[in-house]
Chain A
């Protein structure tokens, strides 16, 4: 079992829909990252959070430390949101610098 699990693996939505991507992890963490990767390969950091909730534009990220779970929400989705969304965690023991990644959720938003 991977230390970081994401669901769903693939998601298709129509423009305007509210989208939720889930991330569960099995280790103690000091921080959780949400990343966006476009087909060319480049990765953009969306959020880094260790508690509560963060919002940036149409994106909202929440984390529940007790339940070891985080969600990324996209409101009023748009075709330009189509990308792979990756959850990554930084452990709180051992190599503090190491990020462990999920396998990503591929989102396709259609008109």
Chain B
């Protein structure tokens, strides 16, 4: 059974650029949730995708968008990057939206 994977591991961008982060869910899981974790803070919920549809969104602006593909892998896109977007981005997959979540290793994004 393959766990949750994320790519890339690290990423450095400059302010104003756009970034795409990728997540492959655990086999059999149709739900992917994305979180942002700033240094020293707990993760913050960005949004969740269930069977290719957005199924809940946290308090993040529209420049944070996502996609889920038929194989249930997912992308997080962030446009017009700001310095405060520097964080660890975590994705988690689950069997259904309310079941236990399994986290990937995260992508550390640095915005200069």
Contacts and interface: CB of A to CB of B under 8 A. Distances in A.
A30 B57 CA distance: 18
Interface size class of B (residues with CB under 8 A): 20 to 34
Contacts of A97: 31, 33, 48, 50, 55-56, 97-98
Contacts of B31: 97
Main secondary structure of the interface of B (DSSP, over half): strand
Interface stretch (B12-20, B73-81, B103-111): B103-111
Contact of A98 (B56, B105, B106): B56
Interface of A: 4, 30-31, 33, 35, 40-45, 48, 86, 88, 90, 95-104
Interface of B: 31, 33, 35, 37, 40-45, 48, 50, 55-58, 88, 90, 92, 97-106, 108
